[in-house]
Structure 1
Amino acid sequence: MFGVLSPCVTHLDSELGAQWRAHMCGVCLSLRADHGQLARLTTNTDAIVVSILVDAQQQSPSDMVTAGPCALRGMRTAQVVAPAELSVRLGATTSLTLASAKVIDVLAEQQTGLGPPSALRSRGARFAGPRLRDKALADDRVATAIGGRALLDEVAGQADVEVSGASLDEITDGAARAAGAVFAATADLAGAPGNHAALEQIGYDFGRCAHLLDAAEDLEKDAKTGAFNPLIATETSLEQAAQDCRRLISAIRAATDTLVLRDDRLLRMLLLGGLERAMTRVFGHRPDAVFTTPGSPTRPPNRPPLPPFYQRILPWMGVYCTGYACCADHTNPCNGKRHQAGCKGCDCCDCCDCCDCDC
């Protein structure tokens, strides 16, 4: 399960917890119904928030169906958002678009020398790239609403921006505008044009914040491997990145207050609470970084070195293809990051009253 956002289940009552699972399972089933079983591997928690956002703007809730027993739910049935609903279709298309963008980015980094050379990664990206792009654009109504074709074309040029010596704002602008387009599309698909401008700004700020959080989380690994990292390239300290993220989250919170929604409870718990937890995960227990020379943070790595990629691919398939990632806390074999279970999602506390999720 990929993405920055996840709910703190400790702070979700039974109703909101059921809504979260309904959208998560609905996106997953929509991916399976329209794109096959393997497409479910692209399920992204950040994409689930746009499904929730479409539903929250509609005059009535999305239609529900009873999903059959699933290993990820302990072989229990569940009421989930119908795979044909626009909300989960947008979530599915967004998941596929994010996966396609990631593959494009990997291939561009290999071609421009921004990432460590890897023949296996290059071959994998060349194989998966066209297939993911076709799937991301397959739902014509949703792909048109988010401008999917133009979005993916723009991602292909991101490496040129990164090698040009651009500023941090210029580097993160592509992700920001892409997220802005997706968030704004939720208003169009839900028939709530009055929310379009505010959601475009929320998405823009979220995209920039997510890019910074990802860069900060990967800082140590990228410094060691020589992969491109926006903070290293622009000599930005972790302290400054944290301040920028805090400013962006405050702006997102203020703009969210202006939205006209049928029910904003789950959105606030996932979007605002999820960003707060991501801040704690990335910055909360880490000292500020000081760059003595460009690209050289003084803080030593706190994760052991990873084995070669070919030794990690089978464990990755075991963790994600079997659905284990949805059921249990796990370490991503490909990047060494620790993740909470997709159906649990509490990474901000020890499931007690100390959780700062007052969103």
Structure 2
Amino acid sequence: MFGYIMADEKQLSPEEVARYRKVYCGVCHSLKEQNGQLCRMTLTYDMTFLALLLNSLYEPLEHEDSARCGAHPTKPQPFATSECTEYAADATVLLAYHKLMDDWHDDRKVSRRAMAQALSSAYRAASARRPAVAQAIESGMADIRAIEQCGDESLDAAANRFGVILGRVFAYREDFWAGELRRMGAWIGKFVYLMDAVMDYDEDLESGNYNPLVAAGAVPGDVSEGLRSIAAQAAQSFERLPLEQDIHILRNVMYAGLWGQYCGKFGDTAHDDGEMAPSATRAADGDDGE
């Protein structure tokens, strides 16, 4: 993933930070148990958010423990695992493998190809456990690769396709909440893809790597309002879910954390007092993110 779906810990209480990190470590523990020690290198806060979201929605049994690891060899770290951290761990591996292969195609960095090969066994195992999710990611990333290779000048083509991918990842179960989770994930996926284009704009302009802004003759400032609209649509779906557990952490991610890197780079504020009201703002292109 891209590392944008994370909390702004400065706005969380010490207890909330501890809880957030406990689930993060839980996803890490699930990565090791299901996919092997090497897969812990793929850990991001993106799927920690998904684990927290699904834990809050479905309220599965959580197991708490503590353990030492490579990052913390001297002091055991508390962690919390559940069926949702296990799902997030598999999704992490599936997404990381394709991200590595995408980087290989873009930059021909041997290290990326080598890491993808090292993950191939874990990728196959995760695919066997989550075949529908794996297929959605594989076909979606192939479509994005084709869009990028033809130099598509649309700002939305690849972003919408990545939204479909993340929408499928968010839809943990085919149940009453699947549609809302899919919509929320689709909007977040579109946001993440365009945010990554904004953050990588200067580098891609120089290197010649595909960037929808560069292809469309746009600059980062041209999509700032569109990003706000997309985030607001994601927030609408988020607020329709019956969430109670960890709700302040989840809202922190949705209304503050998503904008952390943007504000750090541009010194801009995408929200007031750390939050942006989930208004009925219409997305810039008028679609539903899928």
- TM range, smaller chain: 0.7 to 0.9
Aligned letter for 1:220?
Answer: D
Contact 2:22–2:78, Cα closer than 8 Å, also in 1: yes
Q: Does 1:195 align with 2:177?
A: yes
Contact 1:105–1:156, Cα closer than 8 Å, also in 2: no
Q: Does 1:103 align with 2:89?
A: no
Counterpart-to-counterpart distance in 2, 1:149 and 1:205: 20
Q: Does 1:275 align with 2:238?
A: no
- In the TM superposition, what is the alpha-carbon distance from 1:247 to its structure 2 partner? 0.6
Contact 2:95–2:137, Cα closer than 8 Å, also in 1: no
Aligned to 1:236: 218
- In the TM superposition, what is the alpha-carbon distance from 1:54 to its structure 2 partner? 1.3
Aligned to 1:22: 22
Shift in CA distance, 66/18, structure 1 to aligned 2, threshold 3 Å = same
- Where 1:194 maps in the other structure, the secondary structure is coil
Counterpart-to-counterpart distance in 1, 2:143 and 2:2: 23
Counterpart-to-counterpart distance in 2, 1:184 and 1:240: 31
Aligned letter for 2:7?
Answer: P
CA deviation string 1:24-76 (max 9, x = no partner): 1011111122222221110011111111111101245x422321245745833
Q: 2:196 aligns with which of 196, 214, 230?
A: 214
Shift in CA distance, 56/252, structure 1 to aligned 2, threshold 3 Å = same
Q: Flag the structure with larger Rg.
A: 1
Q: Does 1:81 align with 2:80?
A: yes
Counterpart-to-counterpart distance in 2, 1:222 and 1:24: 31
TM-score with structure 1 setting the length: 0.68
Counterpart-to-counterpart distance in 2, 1:157 and 1:175: 9
TM-score with structure 2 setting the length: 0.83
Counterpart-to-counterpart distance in 2, 1:104 and 1:86: 28
Contact 1:177–1:204, Cα closer than 8 Å, also in 2: yes
Q: Does 1:227 align with 2:209?
A: yes
How many pairs align?
273
Q: Does 1:94 align with 2:81?
A: no
- In the TM superposition, what is the alpha-carbon distance from 1:96 to its structure 2 partner? 1.2
Contact 2:94–2:126, Cα closer than 8 Å, also in 1: no
Unaligned runs of 5+ in 2: 277-290
Shift in CA distance, 254/283, structure 1 to aligned 2, threshold 3 Å = farther
Contact 1:276–1:357, Cα closer than 8 Å, also in 2: no
| 1:135-174 correspondence runs (5 A) | 135-139=122-126, 143-144=130-131, 147-166=133-152, 167-174=154-161
Aligned letter for 1:266?
Answer: I
Aligned to 2:63: 64
CA deviation string 1:298-347 (max 9, x = no partner): xxxxxxxxxxxxxxxxxxxxxxxxxxxxxxxxxxxxxxxxxxxxxxxxxx
- How well do the aligned residues superpose, as a CA RMSD in angstroms? 2.7
- Where 1:168 maps in the other structure, the secondary structure is coil
| 1:6-21 correspondence runs (5 A) | 6-21=6-21
Shift in CA distance, 74/274, structure 1 to aligned 2, threshold 3 Å = farther
Shift in CA distance, 98/282, structure 1 to aligned 2, threshold 3 Å = farther
Aligned letter for 2:144?
Answer: Q
Percentage identity across paired residues of the two chains = 24
Aligned to 2:286: none
Greater than 4 Å deviation, 4+ residue runs: 70-74
Shift in CA distance, 161/358, structure 1 to aligned 2, threshold 3 Å = closer
Aligned to 1:301: none
Q: Does 1:358 align with 2:279?
A: no
Counterpart-to-counterpart distance in 1, 2:52 and 2:129: 15
More helix by share: 2
Contact 2:201–2:220, Cα closer than 8 Å, also in 1: no
- Where 1:260 maps in the other structure, the secondary structure is coil
CA deviation string 1:240-279 (max 9, x = no partner): 2211111111112222111112322221112332113233
Q: 2:237 aligns with which of 242, 255, 271?
A: 255
